[in-house]
Structure 1
């Protein structure tokens, strides 16, 4: 009998798991409980037994080193795992059409920070506009910031360099050009590109999370487009840790559990008053913290 081989799941759909090994993809089913669990997702590292040149059976799933999650559709109290074993998240927004909204960028960054993923900010559609102030803002916080164009190819070399050696996930709203960027990075990916709907908002095009090779030792998990993320699964402490500039300043607060609202001796509020924390970032923090607290109370009482 053929010995099990290591592989990476590139796609899970319809009860089948597409496993990448040594440049070849096998369409697999799960053995026993794995067949019925529904817990295998793109990015999972597995052991599978080949049955033919292009089919096999998944025997085991290795423990995950990380995962990206969101509230399940129709049941926000339950979490849906979008991708496994990712170590980096590219938060992609359009430079224009639609215009990037700072609070929306902050939401995605907070999610990736709380999931333990290394964030990279990427503004696409460089050929349309230059979000100079936003680029400067996120660079000042300490995030790597890229400015690229999927259409003209400008900046793609820097993006490829940022992706090398990582399993990354592209996150951001529809209309940002995530699928267009994947097509530019790997023309064989052939991701479907959606048109913009009324109001300049994108129409979701990706329906199944999939791992896409984008260079040497580089993969991107393309995920279903998400317009709004509800942080019902993030506790308030996670939000407090999700803003790097606030996290650094919080060490000087008088109280270790300071929420940076009205507490005396709050180093964060003092720094914000001096202009050392961007007003838009502090507003995003307070908004997300309130949402997290309300969701936490609704969930746990």
Structure 2
């Protein structure tokens, strides 16, 4: 029995890195029986039949996990969003932030394609980014082509396992290529017919970049809050969580309750109104979610 880390999952095979060697493994039937799926990032115990093939026997306890992209034991999430082509979407960014915060993964916001912004567009995007910084998020504005801001990522990746996630067509693979040109990950342009990015990454894989492990993942156009309950949502918004203790009622959902400190903070421009509106939209989605049986 040997311990290793799954760094790629593809077509029912799990590629386990152990002592510098790659072993192609299958999962034991007991995982299917117990409805447990090995994930990229899992630390596992495996039994090798030879020096290239084996079976995963045990999955070690996970520190955290994401459903989309399916990955485990992540130190930080690099959330990649474009400033233009496709346009910057604060709503979609907030969806990702909620999922990452709920999973207790440290987020870093990266806004790509800065070289394509006009001066007026840059001012608008920067106004959003300054707010995210004010509530504690690390934000980097960068361009893979001009390499603006790319060097700020180097020390943040070293020694950590990071997931690169975000909207399709925003330049995730291009950014990883800029960080490590030897990789030459496949990239594609925006689809002019659909107006959104074409998916160029088909599976999750951990790649060595800048002294750490980085997951290049498929892009997503939406995220569902399948695991999050209404009372948990406020804790995924740092500025709302920070005001919650001042609300009159314990368990306040900051919706229709009287003497709500969060609503007062929105009225006083202490909390960005658009972020609060996103919170209410997500809260409604969670309340209207069909119960699971």
Task: State whether TM-score is above 0.5.
Answer: yes
CA distance in 2, matches of 1:32, 1:189: 35
* Contact kept in structure 2, 1:15 and 1:35, CA below 8 Å: no
Q: What pairs up with 1:1-301 in 2 under 5 angstroms?
A: 4-34=1-31, 39-70=37-68, 82-129=70-117, 130=122, 131-198=125-192, 200-216=195-211, 218-295=212-289, 298-299=290-291
TM-score (norm 2): 0.90
Change (3 A) 1:262 1:107: same
Aligned length: 285
Change (3 A) 1:38 1:12: farther
Change (3 A) 1:232 1:87: same
* Contact kept in structure 2, 1:66 and 1:115, CA below 8 Å: yes
Q: Residue 31 of structure 1: CA displacement?
A: 4.1
Deviates more, 1:14-23 or 1:267-276: 14-23
* Contact kept in structure 2, 1:195 and 1:203, CA below 8 Å: yes
> Which residues of structure 1 form unaligned runs of 5+?
71-80
Q: Residue 191 of structure 1: CA displacement?
A: 2.4
TM-score (norm 1): 0.88
Deviates more, 1:50-59 or 1:228-237: 50-59
Q: Deviations over 1:162-181 (max 9, x none)?
A: 22232111111101111111
Deviates more, 1:90-99 or 1:27-36: 27-36
CA distance in 2, matches of 1:237, 1:109: 17
Q: Deviations over 1:22-73 (max 9, x none)?
A: 3332222234534876611111111234444433332321111100114xxx
CA distance in 2, matches of 1:26, 1:152: 39
SS at match of 1:277: coil
CA distance in 2, matches of 1:14, 1:261: 45
Look up the match of 1:73. none
SS at match of 1:187: coil
> Which residues of structure 2 form unaligned runs of 5+?
none
CA distance in 2, matches of 1:69, 1:122: 21
Q: Deviations over 1:188-241 (max 9, x none)?
A: 44322122013641111222111111122x112222211011223321122111
